[in-house]
Amino acid sequence: MSKKKQGLNTICTHVGEIKDKQFKGAVSPIYLSTSYEFDGVDVKRYPRYFNTPNQEFLAKKIAALEHTEAAMIFSSGMAAISHMFLAFLQKGDHIVVQNTLYGGTSNFIREEFHKYGIDYTFTNGYAVSDFEAAIQSNTKLIHIETPSNPLLTITDIKGVADLAKSKGIVTTIDNTFASPVNQNPIDFGIDIVMHSATKYLGGHSDISAGAVASSVAHMDRIWNVSKNLGGNLSDMTVWMLERSMKTLALRVKAQNKNARKLAKFLDKHEDVSKVYYPGLKSHPEHLLAKAQMKGYGGMLSFELRKDIDAMAFMKQLNLIKPSMSLAGVESTMLLPSKTSHSLLTQEQRDAVGISDQLIRFSVGIETFRDLKIDIEHAIINTKTTSFA
């Protein structure tokens, strides 16, 4: 059976596994060596060259999941995105960047690009027309993120890809929030896909990693930069990531189901002023999300009424963890204004709609009823304490 005809769970479980030919073990062996033979071999292997056995084979799984020819694994999501940018941008080039996206990416662009002589423009919005308006004669790359962190905005992937292709511009996307289970941007014309593999690909809050997937030609270009910058991942962590990805589809589908139920619950709650989730029919890009996503994801954000202290609310949670990062099997919440987007100024956060009341909710695989009760009790306890 060809890989293209294999089911999603089969790809997650079997593609990219290393056969244990010596002992016939059921899981991939770990190759921890940092030194390999150089004479009479087809591949000269070295960890910083991203081609140790575990790195090489896990890349095959990621490529299969994202429908690409090749992939690479990095030490973090920021290592992945920074290496990707620097492979396609040089002094005098210009990049168009979506205005609603992960704060770490925004900060990297604002803090580092001027050192390389790279110009950038953040769009005014995230419609295709906003990207077109920002293009300049020296634009070499357009970067998008959909669903975006933390406001869950939805960008027209095919629309941006078609625009870029008409002008000879490379397109990149942060597909972390969707995961390959819910969205495959390559199928809509995007050139390069990246992930913070710390999130859904890892899925257990115990791995820091990043991934980039694209054509062989694009990945060769990224590799030429990455081997010099040294953002490779240890093979022990590569092995852990390959193990975790075996359950990727099962985990994400369970998180999708919980998130959709919780979004509907919060949307009707009298103490919640707004819910951001593309699976809600009230979401402004619901139909677009339905057209380009296979599932609406396990991420949502919401705002409590202004008279309810958001931080106090999270301290009242018992089951849901007030915690950094996202996409683990356990449910977590955080305030973007104090974590993921804290590096932005208040003015920058206000400009993209990130209020101090905004709570980002990474929904886990727990029983829906238990999560609902935890939220209800936290709200009641916060109100009782506040008005006592």
The set of catalytic residues is 48, 102, 174, 199
- In 3D, which of 87, 81, 161 has the Cα closest to residue 118? 87
- In 3D, which of 101, 67, 77 has the Cα closest to residue 327? 77
Please report, for residues 259, 266, 307, 367, 368, the alpha-carbon distance to residue 372 in angstroms, rounded to integers and kept in the order given.
Answer: 11, 9, 21, 9, 6
Find tokens 């809050």 and name the residue.
205
Structure tokens at 202: 């890892």
Structure tokens at 137: 């004669």
Contact between residue 232 and residue 74 where contact means Cβ atoms under 8 Å apart:
yes
C-alpha span between 322 and 334 (Å, rounded):
6
Find tokens 């993209």 and name the residue.
352
Other Cβ atoms within 10 Å of 322 Cβ, number = 16
C-alpha span between 353 and 312 (Å, rounded):
21
C-alpha span between 198 and 268 (Å, rounded):
32
- In 3D, which of 95, 113, 83, 112 has the Cα closest to residue 223? 83
